Amino acid sequence: MSVLRYPLATEKAVAIITKSNVITYMVDFRASKQVIRDEFEKTFNVKVKGIRTTNMPANTKKAFIKLAAPYKASDVAVKLKLV
C-alpha cells in the first residue's frame, strides 16, 4: 500500500515549489514522517531535508516535503506534471 496519495496542484502549492523548494502531497493519515520520507526518496530518487505535516478533516494528512539543496522541487513537479 502506498503512503503517498497525490500531489496538490493549488496555486499556493505550486508557488512554494519554486519559492521554498517544497512539494505538497496528500498522504495516508496513519503515515509517520519517516515513512513518508523513505517512500518519497525511493519514488523520486531525491533526498529530503525535512517534512512538516498537518492533519486535515476526514482522516487525511497533508505533507510539506522540503528537498535537500542539490535537488529541485521544480524537477519533481515536472515529473508529476504539476507545472
Looking at residue 70, the DSSP 8-state letter turns out to be T
pLDDT of residue 83: 83
Domain count, the chain: 1
* pTM, entire model: 0.94
Give the residue numbers spanning the domain of 13. 4-79
Rounded Cα distance, 60 and 47, in Å: 24
pLDDT (tens digit per residue) in 15-28:
999 999 999 999 99
pLDDT-derived band at 29 (thresholds 50, 70, 90) equals: very high
Q: Whats the size of the chain, residue-wise?
A: 83
Three-state secondary structure call for residue 24: strand
Rounded Cα distance, 72 and 21, in Å: 6
pLDDT (tens digit per residue) in 36-71:
999 999 999 999 999 999 999 999 999 999 999 999
pLDDT of residue 1: 60
